[in-house]
Structure 1
């Protein structure tokens, strides 16, 4: 096949234009700098309503090959927070709660998704579907993803959602769309993954208990910090 000089010039120009456009559209502003994350350990209560902290029980987390300290594009160090706790409702039920924060969408945050971290821990993930949890009157429910993790005799229903910037996402595709939306505005969004799970209850009862826990703990978080968990819906 003969390729004319003109075609080579056009192709080269197209490649150069694409490279320039990629540089122009590259996100450069770190969202976390303009909306600093709160101290999760301080704003997430250890006791609220009928719920009390259960010591020595921690949710499953993945190994962390990159560590907590992540470099930003300008060489500064940005600290990613993680809170993992267990609570009891005083009636023998225990809910495990994990919040992972990333100032930049990176492996650390993505690795906490149950499909990744539970699989890495030897669990089988199935029964995946969508749901919603009511936060309070006048505020749209939070859209969540429900899955069930199983390993030998352990049966663990899980509800989770991810905040990317000011948006709530529940899947890989819509998360990429949201990231692209911010990228076109030159913004690198921060994000938080919020996950709750229970062991020892049937599926429907577990999700019902998780919904109550999420409602109660968000009601106990200061109003001015609620947006960190719920995005702009708060």
Structure 2
């Protein structure tokens, strides 16, 4: 039998107690949210179509193709999760190519994960490294986005993505679930948007600089109401 020292036992019990309290608090919040029937639907996109709102020309980049992006295989789950899905490749004569994916859900239940890079890239055989949060300066503020490198045998991508859930901008899957639960407790059913921008290059610094430049150009190319669809703080 393994002997546990007297000093280790209280610490272990304390850690287990904290985990139990945190887990219980989350379950309680989620349970109360589920018990209430939210009636106020927040949909910043409405009946507008992403394909019509996102311009074919963004800065020096121009729309080239709808294929070539990493996405999970189409299935019934993803069809049910998303109201709209936009995929585009943009090219510019003096810049790295840009791959843009936008996934929008008009009725958020906390399961906007199919197109998150942490899900779809490993499913496609990629290894994700160098994950970090990067702030992109925008007119009047900044956008906090997650950046990482996705590597496979014959392809390396530098990518950046962010999510909006209602009026929140969660940076993780756990924060996203909390955003949904808090909105439901207020009686709201929030919509959600995931924006993923990537480029093919081994050079991380050059790739992230290009992604930031495209992001700034994208926000400059759309009107204020569309900017708020992409980032609830943008004006």
Q: Structure 2-normalised TM-score? A: 0.79
Structure 2 residues without counterparts, runs of 5 or longer? 1-27
Distance in 2 of aligned mates of 1:152 and 1:142: 32
- Measured against aligned partners, the alpha-carbon deviations of 1:74-111 in whole angstroms (never above 9, x if no partner) come to xxxxx710110011122252010110001123587311
Name the SS for the 2:46 alignment partner.
Answer: coil
Name the SS for the 1:178 alignment partner.
Answer: helix
Q: For this pair of structures, how many residues does the alignment match?
A: 206
Name the SS for the 1:162 alignment partner.
Answer: strand
Q: Does 1:31 align with 2:41?
A: yes
Question: CA, structure 1 residues 30+85, in 2 after alignment: closer, same or farther (shift >3 Å)?
Answer: farther
Distance in 2 of aligned mates of 1:219 and 1:57: 25
Aligned CA-pair RMSD: 2.5
- CA shift for structure 1 position 177: 2.0
Q: Where does residue 59 of structure 2 map in the other structure?
A: 49
Name the SS for the 1:226 alignment partner.
Answer: helix
Alignment of 1:67-146 (within 5 A): 70=80, 80-91=83-94, 93-105=96-108, 109-136=112-139, 138=140, 140-146=141-147
Q: Structure 1-normalised TM-score? A: 0.79
Q: Does 1:159 align with 2:169?
A: no
Distance in 2 of aligned mates of 1:134 and 1:117: 27
Deviates more, 1:97-106 or 1:213-222: 97-106
- Measured against aligned partners, the alpha-carbon deviations of 1:166-197 in whole angstroms (never above 9, x if no partner) come to 11111122212211220110112110000000
Distance in 1 of aligned mates of 2:217 and 2:44: 29
Distance in 1 of aligned mates of 2:38 and 2:123: 33
- CA shift for structure 1 position 26: 2.3
Alignment of 1:131-210 (within 5 A): 131-136=134-139, 138=140, 140-210=141-211
Distance in 2 of aligned mates of 1:180 and 1:56: 34
Question: CA, structure 1 residues 44+159, in 2 after alignment: closer, same or farther (shift >3 Å)?
Answer: same
Distance in 2 of aligned mates of 1:214 and 1:202: 18
Distance in 2 of aligned mates of 1:64 and 1:128: 26
Q: Does 1:64 align with 2:96?
A: no
Question: CA, structure 1 residues 53+172, in 2 after alignment: closer, same or farther (shift >3 Å)?
Answer: same
Question: CA, structure 1 residues 204+117, in 2 after alignment: closer, same or farther (shift >3 Å)?
Answer: same
Structure 1 residues without counterparts, runs of 5 or longer? 1-17, 72-78
